[in-house]
Structure 1
Amino acid sequence: MAKTSSSAQPALDAIAVAADAATLAHTVARSLPRKDAKKVTALADEVRALTDVDTKTVRKNPEKYTKQAVAITGALVRATAKAIAKAERTRVEVAPPLAAVPGVSAPIVLTAPALAELTVIELRSRARAAGHHGYTRMRKAQLVALLS
């Protein structure tokens, strides 16, 4: 097993940070509205693909991989922060894992217009999380009324 050179170590660290950011972004995306979640998830998948690189390849050109990892991680963090801010503006409930993200306040109360934008499946999962019963037989309007 070859030793990691001092020039390759920052690149490997940046790649590890990018992979962690992608994992966190996937966690955050689960609590975002579908349209925003798709954008964040797509970018997180792109980050994961870039972080799936062999150590030997990184050792050949560490500067290139450091730049790539830093740039894509920055883009992912900006996109995730933007989606979180948009969710807060529309008053969508922010999941507990987001409380660990800097700049995100405590969970927010849902409003009826924001609830109306969600799918029936998302509404049912929120009803289940809130501890309501009988939500599986309800229609969308009934679920919105129940949750608002």
Structure 2
Amino acid sequence: MAKTTKATKAAEAALDAAAAAAKDAKRLSKTLPKKDAKKLRSVADDAKDAARASKKKITRHPKKVQKKAAAAIARVDKAVDKVEAKLAAAKKAAVKKQSRAAGKSGAKKGATKNGKAAGANSTPPARPTVLVVPSGVSNEEAETSIHAPAPPAASRDSARAPVPAPAGTAEDLSTLTVVQLRARARAAGHAGFSRYTKAQLMALLSS
């Protein structure tokens, strides 16, 4: 039985990584708009083809196989990063637009409120109330009953603030793809994780 060399092992590992990258990219493409999904699927198909090297080719030219697989993985990573950047920019623009609309709505409500207040100030003063005192009741008693403070309304319990969701556990992270784990790591401010495996990314996010 032929002995497996380091170069052969490295080539096989690269092929596995290329296959995983292709699978993750195809899964991500299902959540994207049609145009972006088509581009990502094309890159994923190239990575899938690169991962299908024959055993004979791996044994004879392991370095070439590894190089081809690594190039395919790099193309997938680049395409995924581009798509994620585009989605982040679109999300940021949507939030900015929503904030601007909320500001305009608030200004409009403020102007309406000021107009109503000005209208209320221009209304003529109300006529004085004529007090009709029933027989047998003194004027002081009747006046006291009118000016007596109204009973306080029942206070409502204030709504409790929602309890923040707990941080993701290792079990939660294990359900995510490599692409999704990289996106989480990028959002958390981590760097230098582009070539991490899924296990390394999970360890990084769990720390």
TM-score for both structures, normalised by structure 2 = 0.45
User: What's the secondary structure of 1:32's corresponding residue?
Assistant: coil
C-alpha displacement of 1:31: 1.0
Structural mapping, 1:95-114, within 5 Å: 99-102=180-183, 103=185, 105=187
Distance 1:52 1:71 in 2: 14
1:82 corresponds to 2:163: no
Contact 1:19/1:51 (8 A) holds in 2 = yes
Higher RCO (CA 8 Å, separation ≥ 6 residues): 1
Distance 2:22 2:37 in 1: 13
Q: Find runs of 4+ consecutive structure 1 residues off by over 3 angstroms.
A: 96-99, 102-106
Contact 1:22/1:48 (8 A) holds in 2 = yes
Cα deviation per residue 1:14-37 (whole Å; 9 max; x = unaligned)? Answer: 111011011110111111111111
In angstroms, what is the RMSD of aligned CA positions? 2.3
Letter in 1 for 2:4: T
Contact 1:33/1:87 (8 A) holds in 2 = no
Q: Which residue of 2 aligns with 1:65?
A: 65
Identity %: 30
Contact 1:16/1:51 (8 A) holds in 2 = yes
Pairs aligned (count): 103
Letter in 1 for 2:68: Q
Q: Which residue of 2 aligns with 1:15?
A: 15
Distance 1:91 1:3 in 2: 53
User: What's the secondary structure of 2:5's corresponding residue?
Assistant: coil
Structural mapping, 1:1-148, within 5 Å: 2-91=2-91, 99-102=180-183, 103=185, 105=187
Contact 2:29/2:40 (8 A) holds in 1 = yes
C-alpha displacement of 1:82: 0.5
Shift of the 99–8 alpha-carbon distance from structure 1 to 2, 3 Å rule, reads: closer
C-alpha displacement of 1:65: 0.8
Letter in 2 for 1:10: A
User: What's the secondary structure of 1:52's corresponding residue?
Assistant: coil
**Larger-Rg structure:** 2
C-alpha displacement of 1:101: 2.6
Q: Which residue of 2 aligns with 1:114?
A: none
C-alpha displacement of 1:53: 1.4
Distance 1:104 1:40 in 2: 20
| Structure 2: runs of 5 or more not aligned | 93-175, 189-207
Distance 1:2 1:22 in 2: 30
| Structure 1: runs of 5 or more not aligned | 107-148
Contact 1:99/1:105 (8 A) holds in 2 = no
Contact 1:84/1:104 (8 A) holds in 2 = no
Distance 1:78 1:52 in 2: 21
